[in-house]
Structure 1
Amino acid sequence: MPPRVSDVMTGAPQALPLEATLYEAARVMRDEGIGDVLVTFAGRLCGVVTDRDIVVRAVAESRDTALTPLGDVCTAELTTVRPEDDTDTAARLMCEQAVRRLPVVDGDKRPVGIVTIGDLAVANGEVGPLPEISKSPPNN
């Protein structure tokens, strides 16, 4: 039986409210060594913004990152998993949706974690470079 998502996810994901700015999200990403921040409204997940979103949807469009709210550039159409889902389900969803990370939410859609393709590779003991790369510290 495959492990559950709760066994491999990163708990307490970084999240900011919808009205926070891109500048704030970029600082969190830098300070935490991560590439994404979950976006919430009233504590519930409503989007995700990645470092690439900031570059492509904001900087390349000459938006002011200190004034642009996350809601203007975040991805709102999300695929999520629950902590009790198994890792095979998470891997299947990642393949189907062509994503590298999935927010983990509770029954009220509150974010409780994030699971990445690297987390799944390490958990499933896959061979090849991905598990080793995934265990390495971030390249800051």
Structure 2
Amino acid sequence: MTTAREIMTAGAECVGAQESVLDAARKMTELGVGALPICGTDNRLKGVLTDRDIVVKVLGKGKDPAGCTAGELAQGEAVTIGADDDADEILRTMSSHKVRRLPVIDGHDLVGMVALADVARALPDPKVGDLLEVLSSD
């Protein structure tokens, strides 16, 4: 069975919890990504910051992206997947938490990210279709 390690994009870069949302947006632009894991000063994963978070929770509410931190947008414990978890677990986790991107961890170390596009490339169409249906519903 296909594992997260096999389909993930390796080498995910973090945005520090104390970095500004503006700096995070610049990093997303430089890397060409729509999400960044948020890491604390202890190098532990605190959450994931998405481009949508920036638009809805910062810009849409009239906040200054230079004045708020990535860590302020981290919501509770981050939803993750283990590097050796199989594709069915990836599908279950994305579906149950309604997320399109999952940080991949090996022990406590962040080793990559699995995005919906990675899943679509790696798995059979019916399974991907089912996941898309769940993620698209309210």
TM over 0.5: yes
Q: What is the TM-score normalised by the length of structure 1?
A: 0.83
Alignment of 1:33-112 (within 5 A): 33-41=32-40, 42-108=42-108, 110-112=109-111
CA distance in 1 between partners of 2:113 and 2:97 (Å): 16
Q: Where is the helix percentage greater, Structure 1 or Structure 2?
A: 2
CA distance in 2 between partners of 1:20 and 1:79 (Å): 21
The alignment partner of 1:38 has SS state of strand
Q: What is the TM-score normalised by the length of structure 2?
A: 0.84
Please give the root-mean-square deviation of Cα atoms over the aligned residues, in Å.
1.7
User: What are the superposed Cα offsets for residues 75-115 of structure 1, whole Å, 9 maximum, x if unpaired?
Assistant: 3332211111111110111111111111111212x311110
Size of the alignment, in residue pairs?
127
Q: State the shift of 1:74 in Å.
A: 2.7
Matched residue, 1:133:
none
CA contact (8 A) 1:94 1:102 kept: yes
Structure 1 runs of 4+ with >6 Å offset: none
CA distance in 1 between partners of 2:76 and 2:33 (Å): 19
* Unaligned ranges ≥5, structure 2: 130-138
CA distance in 1 between partners of 2:44 and 2:77 (Å): 14
Q: State the shift of 1:125 in Å.
A: 4.1
Q: State the shift of 1:123 in Å.
A: 0.8
CA distance in 1 between partners of 2:76 and 2:52 (Å): 15
Matched residue, 1:123:
122
